[in-house]
Amino acid sequence: MTTPALPITIRYQETAFTMPWHENRQHIHDQVYQIVLDGKNIQDDQKTRLFIYDAVPLDAENEIGLVTARASQFRDHIESEARTLTVRPGDQMTLKVTVSANRRSKVNNVEQVHRIADEAIPEWITSLLTKNAGVCVSNVRLLNRRDYKVHKPKAVFLVPTAQIQANVTIEDAARFAKAFLGGIGRQKGYGVGIMEVAP
């Protein structure tokens, strides 16, 4: 007789705040990190992402943005709400996530980034969620596509995003907990990768 898998309770904090909006996602990144980390730099040997976030414009003129952020624990200067999510293998839920929808490859030792086409999104996100979040995926829906501009001092590039909804069944609760706290996919510093459990 096998013992049923124990539930895992994910303890985390979430916060939300407004700030000036900017079309350049590098400005959004810099503002969010300045606010959440209270102006302190991440140590060079820090391997764990301290928080994940999502940022959207609040008004038609795009002057104000709304940021929602999640962390295991925020620093004391951040007013946040403590929350829990209990999961176990076999649990079914609907996830919504906006991810950086690109794939990297090397040709002649030169790294290239390829935007994932709309028709390839279901297979791609299924693989990403299965590998990184420990879930079995069904009924993938592409809700929205948008390219974010990033202007850095020595580089300009796009972050091609896809907003996705999928029905999932948890197979590995520990892996799901890690993805829920740390996000999935690339370029999470630009406000993508945060998984939300739909009501």
Judged against a pLDDT cut of 80, whether residue 34 lies above it is answered with: yes
Shared domain check, 157 and 77: no
Specify the higher pLDDT residue, 111 or 15: 15
Shared domain check, 154 and 122: yes
Q: What is the pLDDT of residue 135?
A: 97
Classify burial at 154, counting beta carbons within 10 Å of its beta carbon; exposed 0-12, middle 13-18, buried 19 or more. Answer: exposed
Shared domain check, 43 and 98: no
Last residue of a domain, one of 65, 84, 103: 84
**pLDDT tens across 160-199, in order?**
999 999 999 999 999 999 999 999 998 999 999 999 999 8
Residue 55, domain extent: 8-84
Last residue of a domain, one of 32, 55, 84: 84
In the chain, the percentage of residues whose pLDDT exceeds 90 is 73
Shared domain check, 159 and 130: yes
Judged against a pLDDT cut of 60, whether residue 47 lies above it is answered with: no
Task: Quote the tokens at residue 53.
Answer: 């976030």
User: Does a structural domain hold residue 22?
Assistant: yes
Judged against a pLDDT cut of 70, whether residue 117 lies above it is answered with: yes
Query: How does residue 59 score in pLDDT terms, banded at 50, 70 and 90?
Result: confident
Q: What is the pLDDT of residue 42?
A: 61
Mean pLDDT, the chain, integer: 90
Judged against a pLDDT cut of 90, whether residue 44 lies above it is answered with: no
Q: What is the pLDDT of residue 48?
A: 54
Q: What is the mean pLDDT of residues 108-117?
A: 80
Q: What is the pLDDT of residue 1?
A: 45
Question: What's the total number of domains in the chain?
Answer: 2
Contact 99, 162 (CB under 8 A): yes
Judged against a pLDDT cut of 80, whether residue 43 lies above it is answered with: no
The model's pTM? 0.89
List the one residue out of 56, 60, 72, 71 whose CA is nearest residue 17.
Answer: 56
Angle between helices 173-182 and 121-133 (to 10 degrees): 110
Contact 141, 165 (CB under 8 A): yes
